[in-house]
A and B are shown apart, each in its own frame.
Chain A
């Protein structure tokens, strides 16, 4: 038995050695490599909508760009921020300082994204946000090193919120996830409701990753609001929708507005529960031949799970980033981000677009309705298009954001 601790010690050393090696190897290569860090939620409630799929998307972007054939080395690393800003910050510092990562992408969870954005600015690197929602990233917290790609809370509020208020849903009750993203989404939607003559009758803030929504739903019912706005995401949204059905909320004349709903959420709920839900999205895999081709390749590598708009955003952002690196022949974060803003964007998933001075990527937003089970013809056939909001109206006008870069 004496030798046992020694064996464990040896094993621990071997594992530690193996873990440390990649860092050392890269340190020797110096800066001949463009290193992309996918910082995502790999283990908790946002895993399906970002997570490993974001790594797949980043890899596909690198392959499709053909950059390796032209002699530029690209490497991808990934890590799990566990939805904790401190964990995310530590990884970002370690990546920038030790592992020579040049750009961080994705970062679902607004709290983590805001923290990493500040670090990225301090280190002069680049941050391409796809998964986080807070509009502050291109508002008061904007930096010359961050580009916000896929969606933001202002856009979601105006996309879904406005459409619902205009069709008669003028009294609201909010169920809000109690952190940066939820509060920002709630505030943006409240503004839209009030601007359009509606009223907010009440709100309740629940902790992130809540299982039981029953008492919140009872409050929402008691408020008699026509619309119950869900200012949350992922597992919180799906649990709330499922339990709302149980409490008979649709039948009582109240409707749910999912302010941020991903296709993986609809898949998780199943059409019988999700049907009729109205949502805004910037990417749907079944939109055209090119998106379908992408989705097919993506799903094959991602256990059959089709791409969410977060995955599409990671793909599109990485491709544009690599284009800018090639044009500049340099991977200095601040310079590349400036170059990315100067070049028009064009890729198979989002089409032609642009990036504004405050770091906001601009593209059209689509209002979808979830199909009835009888309308869905094949797996993942979930949405029908209700409306398209053109790119120039879809996002917050730059002057209203309060971004110090554009004053």
Chain B
């Protein structure tokens, strides 16, 4: 789901969003804050937090990223990387590094014994939820009118604007949507991992690898690669755990050598 948000933002807006990990972390912290300060549990957080963090994303796009729209991609990368460092630093300063407890929603305690392995209920929910969200996003972008406007707007903004479509607003909302996806992933991760300022920092490189292997900008590509690499990583953890952090990059190198545009990359 994380890679999906990134792929949406890169594929449609050409922004290399290095703040994605930090926005994911914001999502988890959002869930924790709602629980701690407002007494709201997991379910409301699933809705409120992505909207709130997405709104922050919209502000970032409107007042910062939009100014860089006509410059090289590198500027966007540097800006978002800076934003990520600032967020991470501020949160480490306030909350420390060991993380904060966030409990499993009561409905998901326990799991199923499949004989050969134990599958916690919550993991099953996460898998189901990410399939639904990924499928929905792919459908909206590839199969609906809104999606076709969006794709057209990134190909030729002037022409699309001439048809009376508000392209800047569309770009802003798309960025906000990508950020909301990151935040949603953060909320879903909060009950599994410790809610920690560092949780996004380590992930972002892996997430980028997923997007690059899938083909920069290909929505379907990053969905398929995301799940595929999860399997590859899991198998590596089983057979040779020491290599589990590197295996993704080995795959990335191999794929890029054979298909420089990634597995599902389109010619531009």
Residues of A in contact with B (beta carbons under 8 Å apart): 43-49, 51, 178, 204-207, 209-212, 214-216, 218-219, 221-222, 234-235, 238-239, 242-243, 246-248, 252, 264-265, 267-270, 272-273, 303, 305
Q: Does B192 contact A (CB under 8 A)?
A: yes
In the complex, which of the residues A48, A216, A268 has the most CB atoms of chain B within 10 Å of its own CB atom? A268
A248 touches B110 (CB 8 A): yes
Q: A46-B97, A48-B97, A218-B118 are in contact. Are A235 and B198 (CB under 8 A)?
A: yes
Query: Smallest distance from the beta carbon of A2 to chain B beta carbons, Å?
Result: 18
Q: How far is the CB of A204 from chain B (nearest CB, A)?
A: 5
Q: Residues of A contacting B97 with CB < 8 Å?
A: 43-48, 51, 234-235
Q: How close is A56's CB to chain B, nearest CB, in angstroms?
A: 13
For this complex, into which size category does the number of interface residues on chain B fall?
20 to 34
Q: Do A239 and B98 touch (CB < 8 A)?
A: no
Q: Is the CB of A269 within 8 A of B101?
A: yes
Find residues 112-143 in chain B having any chain A CB closer than 8 Å to their own CB. Answer: 116-118, 120, 122-123
Closest partner residue, chain B, to A211 (CB atom): B193
Q: Report if A204-B101 is in contact (Cβ < 8 Å); known contacts: A209-B202, A211-B193, A246-B192.
A: no
Tell me whether B96 and A219 are in contact (CB under 8 A): no
Are A45 and B101 neighbours in the complex by a CB distance under 8 Å? Answer: no
* B98 near A44: Cβ-Cβ < 8 Å: no
Report the minimum CB–CB distance from A286 to chain B (whole Å): 19
Instruction: Please determine whether A246 and B99 come into contact, CB atoms closer than 8 angstroms.
Output: no
A206 touches B244 (CB 8 A): yes
Contact of B118 among A45, A49, A221 (CB under 8 A): A221
Q: Considering the chains assembled together, what is the distance between the CA atoms of A204 and B236 in angstroms?
A: 12
Question: In this assembly, does B168 line the interface, its C-beta being within 8 Å of a C-beta of chain A?
Answer: no
A270 to B194 alpha-carbon distance, docked (Å)? 11
- CB neighbours (8 Å) of B63 from chain A are none
A47 — which chain B residues lie within 8 A by C-beta? Answer: 92, 96-98
Q: What's the Cα separation between A293 and B192 when bound, in Å?
A: 37
Task: Mark out the residues of chain B between 234 and 260 whose CB falls within 8 Å of any chain A CB in the assembled complex.
Answer: 234, 237-238, 241-242, 244-245
Q: Which B-chain residue is minimally distant from A273 (CB atoms)?
A: B101
The answer for the CA separation of A239 and B100 in the assembled complex, in Å, is 11
Q: How far is the CA of A235 from the CA of B197 in the complex (A)?
A: 11
User: SS class of chain B's interface: helix, strand, loop or mixed?
Assistant: loop
Residue B199 interfacial (CB < 8 Å): yes
A246/B120 in contact, CB under 8 A: yes
Any chain A CB within 8 A of the CB of B159?
no
- Whether the Cβ atoms of B242 and A178 lie closer than 8 Å is yes
Rounded to whole angstroms, the CA-CA distance of A239 and B192 in the bound complex is: 8
Q: Which residues of A contact B89 (CB under 8 A)?
A: 43
**Partner-A contacts on B (CB < 8 A):** 89, 92, 96-101, 103-104, 110-111, 116-118, 120, 122-123, 191-194, 196, 198-199, 202-203, 234, 237-238, 241-242, 244-245
Q: Contact partner of B117 among A45, A221, A246, A269, CB < 8 A?
A: A221
Total A-B residue pairs with C-beta atoms closer than 8 Å? 108
Q: B238 and A239: CB pair below 8 A?
A: no
- Expressed in whole angstroms, the Cα–Cα distance for A234 and B196 within the complex equals 12
**Which residue of chain A has its CB nearest to the CB of B243?**
A207
Shortest Cβ distance from B94 into A: residue:
A303
Instruction: Among A43, A264, A269, find the residue whose CB has the most chain B CB atoms closer than 10 A.
Output: A43
Q: Name which of B97, B101, B194 has the most chain A CB atoms within 10 A of its CB.
A: B97
18 contacts between A and B (CB under 8 A): A44-B97, A47-B92, A49-B98, A206-B237, A209-B202, A214-B234, A219-B238, A238-B194, A239-B194, A242-B193, A243-B192, A246-B111, A246-B192, A268-B98, A268-B99, A268-B100, A273-B101, A273-B103
Q: Which of B193, B237, B242 has the most CB of A within 10 A?
A: B237
User: A273 CA to B102 CA in the complex, in Å?
Assistant: 10
Q: A218-B117, A238-B194, A272-B101 are in contact. List 8 more A-B contacts (CB 8 A).
A: A45-B97, A204-B241, A205-B242, A242-B194, A252-B118, A264-B96, A268-B100, A268-B194
Task: Please state if A43 and B92 are interface contacts (CB–CB under 8 Å).
Answer: yes
> Is B245's CB under 8 angstroms from A207's CB?
yes
Does the CB pair B241–A205 fall under 8 Å? yes
Instruction: Choose from B118, B194, B198, B245 the contact partner of A248 (Cβ within 8 Å).
Output: B118
Report the minimal beta-carbon distance from B193 to chain A, rounded to whole angstroms: 6
Quick one: which of B98, B192, B203, B242 contacts A207, CB cutoff 8 A? B242
The answer to whether B98 and A235 touch across the interface, beta carbons within 8 angstroms, is: yes
Find the A residue at minimum CB distance from B236.
A215
* CB <8 Å contact, A242 and B192: yes
For A221, list chain B residues within 8 Å (CB).
117-118
**Shortest Cβ gap from A203 to chain B (Å):** 9
A305 to chain B, nearest CB (A): 7
Min distance, Cβ B130 to any Cβ of chain A, angstroms:
14
Q: How close is B107's CB to chain A, nearest CB, in angstroms?
A: 14
B198 and A44 contact, CB distance less than 8 A:
yes
Closest to B202 in A: A209
Q: Which residues of A contact B100 (CB under 8 A)?
A: 268
Which of B89, B98, B245 counts the most chain A CB atoms within 10 A? B98
A211 B242 Cβ-Cβ under 8 A: no
A176 nearest CB neighbor, chain B only? B241
List chain A residues, Cβ under 8 A from B191.
246
Q: Are A246 and B122 in contact (CB under 8 A)?
A: yes
Q: Nearest-CB distance from B207 to chain A (Å)? A: 12
- Nearest CB in chain A: distance from B94 CB, A: 8
- Kindly list chain B residues whose C-beta atoms are within 8 Å of the C-beta of A218: 117-118, 238
CA distance A178 to B194 in the complex (A): 20
Closest chain A residue to B89, Cβ basis: A43
Asked if A268 and B238 sit within 8 Å, CB to CB, the answer is no
Q: With CB as the reference atom, state the residue of chain A lying closest to B230.
A: A212
Report the separation of the CA atoms of residues A45 and B201 in the bound assembly, to the nearest whole angstrom: 12
Contact of A45 with B96 in the complex, beta carbons under 8 Å: no
Which residue of the partner chain A has the closest CB to B196?
A: A235
Task: Evaluate whether A235 and B118 lie within 8 angstroms (CB atoms) in the complex, with A215-B238, A264-B98 already known.
Answer: no
